[in-house]
Amino acid sequence: MRGRRTVGWVFAALAAAALGVSLVVLIVLIAITALQAGPITSMRAVSGAGISLSLRSLDIPGTRDSLAYATVAQVEAGSPAAGLGMSRGDALIEVGGTGVDRPSRAWDTVGAAPGGREVTLPVAWMPRSEVTLGALRATSVQGAPRVVLSSPSESAKAGALRAGDVLLAVGGIPIVGTRQAWEALVVAARTQGTPIELSLERDGELQVLRWDPTVRAELRFVRDPLRAWWTFLTTLNEPRYPERAGLLPAFAGSVYVVLVMGAVAFPLGIAGAVYLEEYAPSNVLTRVIEVLVANLAGMPSAVVGIIGLEVFARALGAGRSILAGGFTLSILILPMMIVAVREALRAVPQTLREAALAVGATRWETVRHHVLPYALPGILTGTILSFSRALGEAAPLLLLGAFLFVTYVPQGLGDSFTVVPLQIFEWATRPQDGFATVAAAAIVVLVALLLVLNAVAIILRNRFQRRWSG
């Protein structure tokens, strides 16, 4: 008696462990990606204010050190940042009192600032070199570089700089180049604060000036998660700046490819399954076909990609188009579809077929009027599960040669495309700040899409049970 109980407990424990692990994995997956994708709101808040940032760095002459800083790579026309006079080529120095040494510092600071949906934070930036300093000329005296201010800007004049001044050092950083002179100002402003100590040679004499060339203003940021996600989903992809990256091209590509795949695999899968289940004579050929279909269902998806490349892209000349992608994925899911639809057909009671045949229906009429409608919810469930598998596939399309990187929405079946998993792959391999966040956000979208599809499958199955169990 005792022994029998123990075995029962062992199985209960194993079952609980298996189910528990699946649940934990799902929860952890969602939690991690959601957490990783969280900064997308503050990224979008910064880009919503009009600023796109780029990471740059300055090598300190005479040392092996380098200091990073963030330039304003783009300012959107008509945005609040543009209204403040920021422009392309400026460097962002401070946001909310925190020094910005890299783009993510700006996003994180905006994200962490106390306040509600909207926050107004002080920002400091260094206008681009021509505005801050004016025209510079590089010369050299006995091999030593000299940077001469040939024509000072208004800002430089206000800082008591004059034409002909030779810039020697900025905040202790030796000046060796025209571009580097401005970069030294940027880095010094952040690391040492303002005013900056400027060493220069004027009329043959060494002079030290203290100067604050930075511009300060208040900038309003809108932190709206819903809007951030919505913009992420509905904007075209901007290849350089993660805060402007959009999923629309990949999302549209996925939808088109899955539609083409469905148009091919759905009728073929149903026809194949109906033939095997309702018509095929039980002979060796049928057996062979069944075994082949079952084996195809387990074929590695990369292999399917090679078939797609050779057959659709090359032999049939479809190239790297949506058409070729859809056909390739339909090869992948066709066996799965057939297996799923056969299961659904097998669940149709034999008495239903007999009832139809007994009133003089042909086999096809029986299938068409009774078997298929009865099996439809099961068929749809299997179809949706196959489709969601295909939606998450990257390998076959990668081999087919689908682009990783598409910035437009495909307009026709012959257009090249990318899909969400490929876009995730592309973003995840980018070294720049912020693309990991965007990749995580795309994963969240993909997982949400798959969960929705699975939920639809479950709902269909439940409706099916309620409708027929009478």
Partner 1 sequence: MSEHEALPVLSTRSFSLWYGSHQAVIEVNLDIAERQITAIIGPSGCGKSTLIRAFNRLNDLIPGVRTSGEILFRGETIYGRGVDPVNVRHHIGMVFQKPNPFPKSVFENVAFGLRINGFRGNLAERVESALERAALWDEVKDDLHRKTGYDLSGGQQQRLCIARALAVDPEVLLMDEPCSALDPIATAKIEDLIRELASSVTVAIVTHNMQQAARVSDFTAFMLLGELVEFGLTRELFTRPKDSRTEAYITGRFG
How many C-beta atoms lie closer than 10 Å to residue 338's C-beta? Answer: 29
Question: For partner 1, which is the closer residue by CB, 327 or 374?
Answer: 374
Question: For partner 1, which is the closer residue by CB, 168 or 352?
Answer: 352
State in angstroms the smallest separation of the CB of 289 from partner 1: 16
| Beta pairing partners, 170 | 173, 198
Question: For partner 1, which is the closer residue by CB, 78 or 470?
Answer: 470
State in angstroms the smallest separation of the CB of 389 from partner 1: 30
State in angstroms the smallest separation of the CB of 431 from partner 1: 59
Question: For partner 1, which is the closer residue by CB, 296 or 361?
Answer: 361
Question: For partner 1, which is the closer residue by CB, 296 or 352?
Answer: 352
State CA 454 to chain mean position distance.
22
State in angstroms the smallest separation of the CB of 367 from partner 1: 12
State in angstroms the smallest separation of the CB of 294 from partner 1: 19
Residues 433, 242: contact at Cβ < 8 Å?
yes
DSSP conformation class of 227: H
State in angstroms the smallest separation of the CB of 380 from partner 1: 16
Question: For partner 1, which is the closer residue by CB, 2 or 466?
Answer: 466
Question: For partner 1, which is the closer residue by CB, 370 or 389?
Answer: 370
State in angstroms the smallest separation of the CB of 345 from partner 1: 14
How many helices (DSSP H) and strands (DSSP E) are in the chain?
A: 18, 12
Question: For partner 1, which is the closer residue by CB, 135 or 361?
Answer: 361
Question: For partner 1, which is the closer residue by CB, 53 or 460?
Answer: 460
**Residues within the interface to partner 1 (CB under 8 A):** 281-282, 349-362, 365, 369-370, 373-374, 467-468, 470
Residues 366, 357: contact at Cβ < 8 Å?
yes
Tell me the two tokens of residue 374. Answer: 């009865």
Question: For partner 1, which is the closer residue by CB, 63 or 350?
Answer: 350
Q: Give the H or E element holding residue 158.
A: helix 154-158
State in angstroms the smallest separation of the CB of 297 from partner 1: 24
Full 3-state SS string of 271-324? HHHHHHHHHCCCCHHHHHHHHHHHHHHCCCHHHHHHHHHHHHHHHCCCCCEHHH
Question: For partner 1, which is the closer residue by CB, 147 or 371?
Answer: 371
Torsion, CA 350, CA 352, CA 353, CA 359, rounded to 10:
140
Tokens 């659904």 found at: 344
CA distance 66 to 108: 22
State in angstroms the smallest separation of the CB of 460 from partner 1: 16
Number of alpha carbons in the 13 Å side-chain half-sphere of residue 61: 16
How many C-beta atoms lie closer than 10 Å to residue 49's C-beta? Answer: 23
261-289 as b/e: b if 16+ CB within 10 A = bbebbbeebbebbbebbbeeeeeeeeeee
How many C-beta atoms lie closer than 10 Å to residue 325's C-beta? Answer: 32
State in angstroms the smallest separation of the CB of 288 from partner 1: 16
State in angstroms the smallest separation of the CB of 342 from partner 1: 16
Question: For partner 1, which is the closer residue by CB, 153 or 366?
Answer: 366
State in angstroms the smallest separation of the CB of 379 from partner 1: 15
Residue 24's alpha-carbon distances to 27, 28, 33, 404, in angstroms, are 5, 6, 14, 32
CA-based nearest residue to 245, from 88, 432, 92, 93? 432
The sign one gets for the Cα dihedral 271, 274, 279, 283 is positive
Residues 183, 198: contact at Cβ < 8 Å?
no
Contacts of 467 (CB under 8 A, 6+ apart): 377
